[in-house]
């Protein structure tokens, strides 16, 4: 499957305990989150997954694929790059299209963008911008609390996350 997400849970999904396992990824330390998700729109998960499964022969269910990509926000340039990318580019861990959409990063913290989205640096070393509401829905139809940060009520995390309930 695409090397951009590496099957990681969305930040804030899973257990909303104070353990560090309640979020994954982190923000880039290079400022990839500056500017928030401005100019970004939801990725067309339905179209991308249909292409990955039908055209590229990826062994994943449509439901799993769409759940993995539905919360990702992308730029227009990224949407264009994905639409014209070959299967080899889409299924590679690195390609010009993936670099356009998910630039390399390093770091361990996530960064809330102040607009209901969060920028994370995945364990695979790629930058993802996620819509918190969609990330919570993808995690078992949970609801986004409206809070992105290191705490929600009595809950505390060692890194910013989208808090789901």
Burial bucket for residue 114 (CB in 10 Å: 0-12, 13-18, 19+): exposed
pLDDT at 70: 92
Q: What pLDDT is stored for residue 133 in this prediction?
A: 95
pLDDT on residue 37: 59
Taking CA atoms, 135 is separated from 29, 57, 89, 162, in Å, by: 22, 26, 25, 8
The pLDDT value recorded for residue 150 is 94
**Cα 27 to Cα 110: distance, rounded to the nearest angstrom:** 4
Low-confidence ranges of the chain (pLDDT < 70): 1-38, 108
3-state secondary structure of 43: coil
In the prediction, which pLDDT does 92 show? Answer: 87
What is the model's pLDDT at position 33?
Answer: 34
d(CA 66, CA 121): 20
State the pLDDT at residue 20. Answer: 31
pLDDT, position 124: 83
């Amino acid at each position: 499957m695409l090397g951009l997400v590496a099957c990681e849970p969305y930040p804030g999904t899973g257990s909303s305990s104070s353990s560090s396992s309640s979020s994954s990824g982190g923000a880039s330390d290079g400022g990839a989150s500056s500017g928030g998700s401005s100019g970004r729109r939801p990725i067309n998960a339905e179209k991308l997954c249909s292409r990955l499964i039908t055209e590229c022969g990826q062994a994943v269910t449509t439901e799993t694929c769409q759940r993995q990509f539905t919360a990702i926000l992308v730029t227009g340039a990224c949407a264009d790059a994905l639409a014209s990318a070959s299967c080899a580019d889409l299924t590679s861990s690195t390609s010009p299209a993936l670099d356009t959409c998910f630039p390399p990063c390093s770091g361990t913290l996530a960064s809330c963008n102040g607009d209901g989205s969060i920028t994370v640096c995945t364990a695979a070393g790629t930058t993802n911008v996620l819509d918190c509401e969609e990330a919570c829905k993808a995690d078992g139809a949970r609801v986004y609390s409206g809070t992105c940060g290191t705490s929600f009520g009595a809950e505390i995390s060692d890194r910013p996350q989208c808090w789901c309930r």
